[in-house]
A and B are shown apart, each in its own frame.
Chain A
């Protein structure tokens, strides 16, 4: 079985026709993991039991799985075994999707390269000297390397879209509120969303259909206004697509990335879409600063729960409870969570709250208004997903601000609560380039339709060249 090429839809067809069993599929992916994951380290742990008769799946390690260790790639959660399943895990279980394992990530989803994992980095299947992106880099590497036909990741500032782009796979950040966060290890609650990572847009729609919808356990969820449609059309007739110049001409976008994106835009025109330049004057300039105030502030609050009392790591030999908290948190958290806890605590502290957090929430209003205004004229917006192709391991680890810039193109629409789809659109320097399609809230069906049509026309080969 060629796990590198098999899509989830094709795998489901094998099951339907009785040409393979769920156990055989699971075993084939496990064999691929055993053979090639020692090099890539996409998985933190694998699962032996095959539960359910469907197509196997991998979960980012911040999705709670009953009885299966869940760490969010943090040493502070090493050994933690949830007593319940996250709602997305329950939905996958109800759909019969057996779990292959839990994938690596930046600790607490804080990062853009998966190098911030407390358990060692993941490498890019296209070039193991390069990062897979992040924070869902384990899930995107697993799908690209044929270790899983599909996977779930999470996206706060770009953590599905950006690693999907860098690994040459499809990733959807859904509209905020369409997928339950119950049982997800929290990072920044007003931004965190779970979403699918797949080889094709149709697989993405299938998995989104499985996990989306209101959950009584998460009061921020809503029912989808329309059912998820599997895309069929191979044209873009009738679609108006905006090309925001700030997202397409931002400083730091590599010429090779622009070249591939422009080719896709030409193709979109040929497929019948109407394209027009437009502008998001403040969303791009102020998106990153706004994000790096709001997300760390929410993180500093969410991560206060790691107190060494109810679960997780505890420092030994503390004389009193305060020393236990402080030493546990110093030992258990890596640099990036500490940096964000410090930044968030500072931004929320007395005297600074209005100037930082309060002001950032108002900037968020402006960003949402700018997006809303464009969606009165356009069905979709388009840009590169990441300014660069996959970068070398270590290239940005010493400079937090350089790492933060990896998400400069994904953050603005995330702040506005809009869904975004990254579709591979070509190669630059032999590495995948991702095209970002952004729609108004609840426009996933339009994203799938456009993504599918472009995918068919582009004919991108998602199997990494060195593995063909």
Chain B
């Protein structure tokens, strides 16, 4: 069972500031979901290789040719805040 403290810990890792109400709701729902997905542990798979990707592709290359890229102004055009040629954020 996931505890309230674990929910808060995971929320911190995921950079999510949850309200008290969300913490309790997600605790209940995550417990129900984890119980259902925990079924994967029923199988003994010690000798099975994991699949990360459905196609057997290894090292796909393309020529390393320069192509046009975004201008500084374009790259900043969707930023919530900027200062000159930089993204602006609150104090780190």
Which A positions have Cβ atoms within 8 angstroms of B? 79-81, 83, 176-177, 190, 216, 219-220, 222, 282, 285-286, 288-290, 292-293, 300, 304, 307-314, 318-327, 329-330, 333, 338-339, 341-343, 345-346, 349, 355-356, 358-366, 368, 400-401, 404, 416-417, 441
Contact partner, B33, options A341, A343, A417, Cβ 8 Å: A343
Neighbouring A residues of B78 by C-beta, 8 Å: 79-81, 83, 310-312
Determine how close the nearest CB of chain A comes to the CB of B38; give it in whole angstroms: 7
10 example contacts (A-B, Cβ-Cβ < 8 A) are as follows A310-B87, A319-B90, A319-B91, A325-B15, A327-B17, A338-B22, A349-B10, A356-B40, A359-B41, A360-B37
Neighbouring A residues of B70 by C-beta, 8 Å: 83
Given contacts A320-B92, A362-B48, contact A345 B10 (CB under 8 A): yes
Query: CB of B49 within 8 A of chain A?
Result: yes
Contact partner, A322, options B10, B13, B14, B15, Cβ 8 Å: B15
* CA of A313 to CA of B16, assembled, Å: 14
Chain B, 56-78, CB within 8 A of any chain A CB: 57, 60, 62, 70, 74-75, 77-78
Neighbouring A residues of B40 by C-beta, 8 Å: 286, 289-290, 293, 356, 359-360, 363
B9 closest partner in A (C-beta): A349
Determine how close the nearest CB of chain A comes to the CB of B57; give it in whole angstroms: 7
Q: B16 and A321: CB pair below 8 A? A: no
Most buried by A among B16, B30, B77: B16
Given contacts A289-B38, A346-B30, A365-B50, contact A312 B90 (CB under 8 A): no
* CA of A83 to CA of B38, assembled, Å: 42
* CA of A401 to CA of B30, assembled, Å: 10
* CA of A200 to CA of B70, assembled, Å: 40
10 nearest A-B residue pairs (beta carbon): A417-B54, A361-B50, A311-B78, A326-B17, A314-B80, A362-B45, A219-B60, A364-B51, A289-B37, A325-B15
State the interface size on chain B (CB cutoff 8 A).
Answer: 51
Q: B79 and A329: CB pair below 8 A? A: no
Neighbouring A residues of B60 by C-beta, 8 Å: 219-220
A338 closest partner in B (C-beta): B16
B38 closest partner in A (C-beta): A289
Neighbouring A residues of B1 by C-beta, 8 Å: none
Contact partner, B29, options A324, A327, A400, Cβ 8 Å: A400
Q: B37 and A292: CB pair below 8 A? A: yes
* CA of A411 to CA of B51, assembled, Å: 15
B50 closest partner in A (C-beta): A361
Contacts A286-B40, A321-B91 given; 16 further ones with Cβ under 8 A? Answer: A190-B53, A222-B57, A290-B40, A308-B80, A310-B78, A323-B17, A323-B90, A329-B15, A330-B16, A330-B18, A342-B11, A346-B6, A355-B41, A362-B50, A363-B40, A365-B49
* CA of A409 to CA of B16, assembled, Å: 32
Given contacts A324-B89, A349-B13, contact A342 B7 (CB under 8 A): yes
Neighbouring B residues of A282 by C-beta, 8 Å: 43
B26 closest partner in A (C-beta): A342
B61 closest partner in A (C-beta): A219
**Secondary structure of the B contact surface, majority rule:** loop
* CA of A19 to CA of B68, assembled, Å: 41
Neighbouring A residues of B90 by C-beta, 8 Å: 318-321, 323-324
* CA of A312 to CA of B77, assembled, Å: 11
Q: B91 and A363: CB pair below 8 A? A: no
Contact partner, A401, options B11, B36, B80, Cβ 8 Å: B36
Q: A417 and B32: CB pair below 8 A? A: no
Q: A342 and B30: CB pair below 8 A? A: yes
Given contacts A321-B91, A358-B50, A364-B50, contact A286 B39 (CB under 8 A): yes
Determine how close the nearest CB of chain A comes to the CB of B78; give it in whole angstroms: 4
A442 closest partner in B (C-beta): B55
Most buried by B among A285, A311, A441: A311
B13 closest partner in A (C-beta): A345
* CA of A313 to CA of B78, assembled, Å: 10
Q: B33 and A292: CB pair below 8 A? A: yes
Query: CB of B24 within 8 A of chain A?
Result: no
* CA of A355 to CA of B45, assembled, Å: 11
Q: A368 and B91: CB pair below 8 A? A: no
Neighbouring B residues of A80 by C-beta, 8 Å: 78
* CA of A80 to CA of B40, assembled, Å: 39
Determine how close the nearest CB of chain B comes to the CB of A310; give it in whole angstroms: 6
* CA of A333 to CA of B16, assembled, Å: 9
Given contacts A177-B57, A311-B79, A329-B15, contact A365 B36 (CB under 8 A): no
Determine how close the nearest CB of chain A comes to the CB of B44; give it in whole angstroms: 10
Most buried by B among A220, A282, A289: A289
* CA of A368 to CA of B54, assembled, Å: 8
Neighbouring B residues of A320 by C-beta, 8 Å: 90-92
Q: A330 and B17: CB pair below 8 A? A: yes
* CA of A326 to CA of B52, assembled, Å: 30
Q: B43 and A363: CB pair below 8 A? A: yes
Given contacts A326-B15, A417-B54, A417-B55, contact A401 B41 (CB under 8 A): no
Q: B54 and A341: CB pair below 8 A? A: no
Neighbouring B residues of A79 by C-beta, 8 Å: 78
